[in-house]
């Protein structure tokens, strides 16, 4: 059974810092890995999707890497801003014969607070 | 208009009530999902529909009954719920095989 762990559980940083969020998973037979952002009481916003054959994806100040063999992914946020404050969720999709069918296993999330 | 729309956003019901959650996606996707987010627990997959056919029931109690009349609409019918069913219920959609999910804002359910 796939298990996803995110470290740290919470992180508080001053504005402008570069930071790294970590995600690890136990079963390397994944189809892809997706990073989401969730604001309090809201739904999930997709940030980055990394296919199992890829090593990294970038979008603006965000960069996500994937090391499938070691079961790890990191989300790097450059020059953090107060608006980045949210819960960040990592989710892996199981590889089911070359597809995923959207069956994601989520981590508990990292609660990020960026203070001015 | 957002890609995935859920109604109602908030719902309070007694244990003997019957209510339904609705989800509509405007992204042209052919797969839809229900996920549950309880306090202090990771999101859990409940149901998967591909091309209107249910392909996954993740051991969900029968008091939750999904319905997918077409590829754009998904319902979750609720009856005789328990207080521990109080949670945020999230709908998502994707293209089958792409694996990239897009979520709605969720329906916050409180069972008294």
Residue B111 clears pLDDT 70, i.e. is over it = yes
Q: Note which residues in 47-66 of chain A have CB less than 8 A from chain B.
A: 49, 51
Chain A residue numbers with beta carbons less than 8 Å from the beta carbon of B56 are 101, 103
Please spell the DSSP secondary structure of B60-92, one letter per residue.
--TTEEEEEEETTEEEEEEES--GGG-EEEEEE
Answer whether A102 sits within 8 Å of B6, measured CB to CB. Answer: no
Model confidence over A54-72: pLDDT tens digits?
A: 999 999 999 999 999 999 9
Which tokens in the block code for residue A114? Answer: 């960026």
Residue A5 clears pLDDT 80, i.e. is over it = yes
Model confidence over A15-67: pLDDT tens digits?
A: 999 999 999 999 998 999 999 999 998 899 999 999 999 999 999 999 999 99
Of residues A115 and B97, more confidently modeled:
A115
d(CA A71, CA B47) in angstroms, rounded, equals 26
Residue B27 vs residues A32, A79, A89, B30: alpha-carbon distances, Å: 20, 32, 23, 9
Q: What integer best gives the mean pLDDT of chain B?
A: 91
Answer whether B108 sits within 8 Å of A41, measured CB to CB. Answer: yes
Which tokens in the block code for residue A82? Answer: 């107060």
User: What percentage of chain B reaches a pLDDT higher than 90?
Assistant: 77
d(CA B49, CA A84) in angstroms, rounded, equals 33
What is the interface size between A and B, counted as CB pairs within 8 Å?
Answer: 67
Q: Least CA distance to A31: which residue of chain B?
A: B99
Residue B1 clears pLDDT 70, i.e. is over it = no
Which residue do the tokens 């109690």 mark? B61
pLDDT of amino acid B10: 96
Residue B40 clears pLDDT 90, i.e. is over it = no
């Amino acid at each position: 059974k796939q298990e996803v762990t995110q470290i740290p559980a919470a992180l508080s940083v001053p504005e402008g810092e570069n930071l790294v969020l970590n995600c690890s998973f136990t079963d390397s037979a994944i189809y892809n890995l997706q990073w989401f952002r969730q604001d309090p009481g809201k739904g999930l916003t997709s940030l980055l999707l990394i296919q199992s054959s890829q090593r990294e994806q970038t979008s603006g100040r965000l960069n996500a890497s994937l090391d499938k063999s070691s079961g790890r992914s990191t989300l790097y946020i450059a020059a953090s801003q107060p608006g980045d404050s949210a819960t960040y969720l990592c989710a892996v999709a199981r590889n089911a014969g070359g597809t995923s069918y959207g069956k994601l296993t989520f981590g508990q999330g990292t609660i990020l607070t960026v203070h001015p | 208009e957002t890609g995935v729309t859920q109604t109602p956003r908030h719902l309070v019901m007694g244990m003997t009530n019957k209510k339904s959650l609705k989800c509509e996606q405007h992204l042209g996707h052919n797969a839809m999902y229900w996920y549950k987010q309880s306090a202090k627990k990771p999101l859990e997959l409940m149901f998967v529909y591909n091309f209107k056919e249910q392909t996954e029931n993740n051991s969900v109690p029968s008091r939750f009954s999904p319905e997918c009349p077409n590829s754009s609409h998904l319902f979750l019918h609720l009856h005789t719920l328990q207080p521990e069913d109080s949670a945020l219920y999230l709908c998502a959609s994707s293209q089958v095989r792409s694996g990239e999910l897009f979520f709605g804002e969720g329906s916050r359910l409180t069972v008294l």
